Amino acid sequence: MWDEVTQQARQEHVAAVVSLVLAAESPHGPVVVALDGPSGAGKTTLARGVASALEAVGTVDVVHMDGLYPGWDGLAQAPALLATQVLEPLARGEHAAYRLWNWVRDEWAGTRDVAPSRFLVVEGCGSTVGPARAYAAVSVFVDADPALRMRRGLERDGETYRPHWQRWADQETALFAADATKERADLVLDTSTL
């Protein structure tokens, strides 16, 4: 599945992100680093490396957007869910928790608390889009060759993902184009050579 990371992030990518995060400030709540980009680009791998590096200097929690998407057609809704359920409450110094999507049952099932922390790593498509953008102290767009991304996704999630790949990719393309997500990023990384 998407959260079963088998590769290590490139150390120069981790170092570049951590350098930006350590220079960033957040007047309220944790310093949020958002790792955005299309499926299969290596966001989860990078998130694990960044979170591990940041743990050396402070507490860290990680939010995976895959828990926030309301199904295969829910990408456009997810940035607002991230903002209202996680980022806004944390910025106010309040408790934050988000509803979790059960991909097998195709419905909401449970919640996940977000731990109070110095740093919050948010990874996933749409994590820097629309209302979520305002809360990202550092925004990173992670990309890779489209054919490679598809191969990674199918190796990771299995053939059951194949019928949904293009449907999801079309949503990513529309969302990123309308938002100019890559152009607005503080840092753009290409993971084609992981």
At 186, which CATH number?
Answer: 3.40.50.300
Evaluate if residue 4 carries a pLDDT over 60.
Answer: no
Enter the DSSP assignment of 30. Answer: P
Enter the DSSP assignment of 73. Answer: T
Q: Does the global pTM surpass 0.75? A: yes
Over the stretch 130-166, which tens digit does the pLDDT of each residue have?
Answer: 999 999 999 999 999 988 888 887 787 777 778 888 8
Instruction: Kindly report the average pLDDT of the chain as a whole number.
Output: 92
Whether 48 maps to a domain, the answer reads yes
Task: State whether the Cα torsion 134-43-58-116 is positive or negative.
Answer: positive
* Model pLDDT, residue 162: 80
Structure tokens at 127: 């994590």
Whether 49 maps to a domain, the answer reads yes
The total number of structural domains in the chain stands at 1
Evaluate if residue 170 carries a pLDDT over 50.
Answer: yes
Whether 1 maps to a domain, the answer reads no
pLDDT band of residue 194 (cuts 50, 70, 90) is low
Is residue 126 within 8 Å of residue 132, measured between CB atoms? Answer: yes
* Model pLDDT, residue 28: 79
Whether 4 maps to a domain, the answer reads no
Whether 163 maps to a domain, the answer reads yes
- How far apart (Å, rounded) are the C-alpha atoms in residues 100 and 80? 15
Whether 2 maps to a domain, the answer reads no
Give, in order, the Cα–Cα distances in Å from 166 to each of 153, 156, 170.
12, 16, 6
Whether 3 maps to a domain, the answer reads no
Amino acid at 179: D
Over the stretch 54-77, which tens digit does the pLDDT of each residue have?
Answer: 999 999 999 999 999 999 999 999
Whether 125 maps to a domain, the answer reads yes
> Which backbone phi and psi does 3 adopt, to 5 degrees?
-95, 5
- How far apart (Å, rounded) are the C-alpha atoms in residues 191 and 194? 5
pLDDT band of residue 125 (cuts 50, 70, 90) is very high
**Domain carrying residue 112:** 11-190
